[in-house]
Amino acid sequence: MKLVLIILTGILALSSGRAQEILTYRLKSIGVGTTSIYDSYLSPLQYDGLQLSFIDEQLRATNLLKGRVVSQSMLNFSLASTLNPAQNAATYAGYFSGVFGELYRLPLSTQNNMPTVFAGVTGEALVGILYNTRNGNNPVNVKLHLNLNLSLLAAYRFQIAKQALQVRYQLSAPAVGVCFSPEYGQAYYEMALEESNENLFHFASWHNHQRWNNYLSLELPLNRFALFIAYRNNYYALKINGLQTRITANSFFAGVSMYLHTVSSRTYKPQYRYVF
Partner 1 sequence: MCFKSAYACLFLVCLSSCVEIETYDNTPRDNFEALWKIMDEHYCFFEYKNVDWQQVHDDYSLRIQDKMSDEDLFAVLNEMLQEVKDGHVNLVSVFDVGRYWKWFEDYPANYKSELIEQYLGFDYRIAGGLYYKVLPDDSIGYIRYSDFSSSIGNQALNYIFTQFKDCPGIILDVRNNGGGYLSYSTLLASRFFEQKTRIGYIQHKTGTGHNDFSEPVPQYITPSEGVRPTQKVVVLTNRKCYSACNDFINAIRYAPKVITMGDRSGGGSGLPFSSELPNGWYVRFSACPTYNAEMQHIESGIEPDVPMQLSDIDVQNGKDTLIEEAILILKTE
Interface contacts to partner 1, rule CB under 8 A: 38, 43-46, 84-89, 132, 134-139, 183-187, 189-190, 193-194, 205-210, 237-239, 241-242, 244-246
Cα 97 from Cα 85, distance rounded (Å): 29
Nearer to partner 1, 111 or 137 (CB): 137
Greatest alpha-carbon pair distance for the chain in Å reads: 69
Q: How far is the CB of 50 from partner 1 (least distance, A)?
A: 20
Q: How far is the CB of 194 from partner 1 (least distance, A)?
A: 5
Q: How far is the CB of 269 from partner 1 (least distance, A)?
A: 48
Nearer to partner 1, 55 or 238 (CB): 238
Q: Closest Cα to residue 23, out of 56, 71, 76, 66?
A: 71
Q: How far is the CB of 71 from partner 1 (least distance, A)?
A: 29
Nearer to partner 1, 165 or 176 (CB): 176
Nearer to partner 1, 3 or 193 (CB): 193
Please check whether residue 74 is in contact with residue 115, taking contact to mean a CB–CB distance below 8 angstroms. no
Name the DSSP letter for residue 199.
T
Q: How far is the CB of 183 from partner 1 (least distance, A)?
A: 6
Nearer to partner 1, 4 or 86 (CB): 86
Residue spans of beta strands (DSSP E) within the chain: 21-39, 47-61, 69-83, 90-105, 116-132, 140-160, 163-180, 201-205, 209-221, 226-240, 243-263, 266-267
